Structure 1
Amino acid sequence: MIQYQKKNVTVFQSSLYMTTSAVIETDEAVIMTDPNWLPVEVDGIQKYVESILGSKQLYIIYTHNDYDHIIGAGAFQNAIVIASEAFAHYPDKEKIVQQNRDFDEARYLERNYEHIYPKVDVVVTHDEQKLEIGEVTLTFYLSPGHTDDGIFTVVEPYGVFLSGDYLSDVEFPFITGSYRDYVRTIQKAEMTFDRFDIQLHVPGHGRTTEDEREMDSRLDFSKHYLEQLPKEDDGLKAHMQEKFTFFNFMSGVHDDNKKVAQRELEK
């Protein structure tokens, strides 16, 4: 499951949708994102965390509340949970928990924990909100667009950027929130790369990278995609068929994205 491991950062990758869970070990804590997907995968992450945790405190950053990103929450109920205000006050928590139950039932999956919607201990309410954990500083930015409740996190002094479901190398932008919000969030991402010395980018789906040119490429593509999306241009779709291995499966999302963008811009 280990996609990336260097120094104090380990990134696990699920067999499903190349979904990632980052684990960052510091002198005083272990900081993790979005434990997922399959029972054996969550169990593997849990065993690894237990092997390095000792007397340290475990923190979990939930990048957003899509059910695949909280599906492992019940296995880590002693963690301090960090998420956005919109995540904390989501009005239909039971709906997302039921999606997890339905996922397992449809696949005959059994887990050694109950599905839960995480109770948020540290609520992110505004951009540049900070949390200091010993020598480490977490800086948060609200990132609506993919969903309404997303957050970015920068982990200093390590230069780690945890972007959730943005800036993937295997997915184009998925807009289930607002097109305009998504555009503003990508602008925040660009500002984040300019403001911080980002050494490592961990997307919610796809490959972790240390390559600055690859980070720039992901950002540039998202900007280009959002700019071209509202236009009646089949060239964008053809380009994505070449760029993304799994585009045929995702093509309906692109069509829905276009409808969202055009509808918002017509108002």
Structure 2
Amino acid sequence: MIVFQNETVVVFQSSLYQTTSTLIDAETALLLIDPAWLPAEVSEIQSYVAAIRRGRPLYLLFTHSDFDHIIGYGAFPEAIVIASAAFTNHPAKDYPVKQIHDFDTKYYLKRFYPISYPEVEVAVANDGETMKVGNCALTFYLAPGHTNDGLLTVIEPEGVLAAGDHLSDVEFPFIYDSYESYLETINKIKNIVDSGNIEILIPGHGSVTNSEKAIQQRVNQSIHYLHSLRQSDGHEEVTEQYEFFEGMKDVHLHNVKVAARKESQFED
């Protein structure tokens, strides 16, 4: 369902993990980010895109390769795909595809489109790379830490930060790549936010916010959580801020181990 909408930005939110999918009307083109989850939800997004497209080019941006974020790829076969170079060079592309099939099998789900790993046409290799999509200017920043192939995107003139699985109000940082990389990415996000150009934060899970104060709070909360992982106590104070913590407890315990050993080889 739609949870945020203005003249150019529409954000859909799934019933599962409050996963967000974003559509930006860039006048002469459309930009769609991480279309997801359930078949009916992807169908809703597909129908919305079809209703407003009017023959315009469609760009499809993936923030990272987690299966819940690439699950809607096949519903938009004509889209021009943007992702990080690490996403493009994923060493085990069959793995997230298998996760999608396993998920659908477990819940008896049938999709109206084929499942495959995205074929990337625009691969971002460096911080600060830019491109135009319609009247929008996109600036990209590599964001390893959650996964090794994360990508942050600042979209102007809307002032949107498409943050992927960062700065959620329902999830603490999930570290599936490395602790140090996640810290570097959060500091990178802090610099982006401190520039004063971000007006709308769209996380991969949770609530959209256009409050400068709330955006800063989420940055600070993530930094505080990451630092707490290397402390012997204080975890309780941090984790009680998350309503669904019990459902994520195993990930938190994993994060503590990752922070202690400085490396992560976590797999779902």
When normalised by structure 2's length, the TM-score is 0.96
Equivalent residue number for residue 239 of structure 2:
240
| SS, match of residue 262 in structure 2 | helix
Pairing 1:178-197 to 2, within 5 Å after superposition: 178-197=178-197
| SS, match of residue 23 in structure 2 | strand
Deviations 1:95-124 (Å, cap 9, x if unpaired)? Answer: 111110111011110111110100000000
Deviations 1:172-214 (Å, cap 9, x if unpaired)? Answer: 0000000000000001101111235111000000000000100
**Alpha-carbon shift at residue 228 of structure 1 (Å):** 1.4
Deviations 1:64-94 (Å, cap 9, x if unpaired)? Answer: 0000000111101110000001100101111
**Alpha-carbon shift at residue 251 of structure 1 (Å):** 1.1
Equivalent residue number for residue 165 of structure 1:
165
| SS, match of residue 162 in structure 1 | strand
Deviations 1:137-170 (Å, cap 9, x if unpaired)? Answer: 1000000000000000000011010000000000
Instruction: Give, in whole Å, the separation in 1 of the partners of 2:215 and 2:193.
Output: 9
**Which stretches in structure 2 are left out of the alignment for 5+ residues?**
264-268
Equivalent residue number for residue 103 of structure 1:
103
Instruction: Tell me, yes or no, if the aligned pair for 1:186 and 1:219 is still in contact at 8 Å.
Output: yes
Instruction: Give, in whole Å, the separation in 1 of the partners of 2:237 and 2:226.
Output: 15
Pairing 1:1-267 to 2, within 5 Å after superposition: 1-233=1-233, 235-241=234-240, 243-264=241-262
Instruction: Give, in whole Å, the separation in 1 of the partners of 2:155 and 2:196.
Output: 10
Instruction: Give, in whole Å, the separation in 1 of the partners of 2:173 and 2:134.
Output: 35
Aligned length in residues: 263
Paired residue type of 2:258: V
Instruction: Give, in whole Å, the separation in 2 of the partners of 1:163 and 1:77.
Output: 24
Paired residue type of 1:150: G
**Which stretches in structure 1 are left out of the alignment for 5+ residues?**
none
Deviations 1:18-73 (Å, cap 9, x if unpaired)? Answer: 00001000111110110100000000000001111112111111000000000111
Instruction: Give, in whole Å, the separation in 1 of the partners of 2:238 and 2:23.
Output: 34
Paired residue type of 1:103: F
| SS, match of residue 47 in structure 2 | helix
**Alpha-carbon shift at residue 238 of structure 1 (Å):** 3.9
| SS, match of residue 132 in structure 1 | strand
Instruction: Tell me, yes or no, if the aligned pair for 2:30 and 2:133 is still in contact at 8 Å.
Output: no
Instruction: Tell me, yes or no, if the aligned pair for 1:159 and 1:196 is still in contact at 8 Å.
Output: no
RMSD, matched Cα: 1.0
| SS, match of residue 262 in structure 1 | helix
Instruction: Give, in whole Å, the separation in 2 of the partners of 1:65 and 1:245.
Output: 26
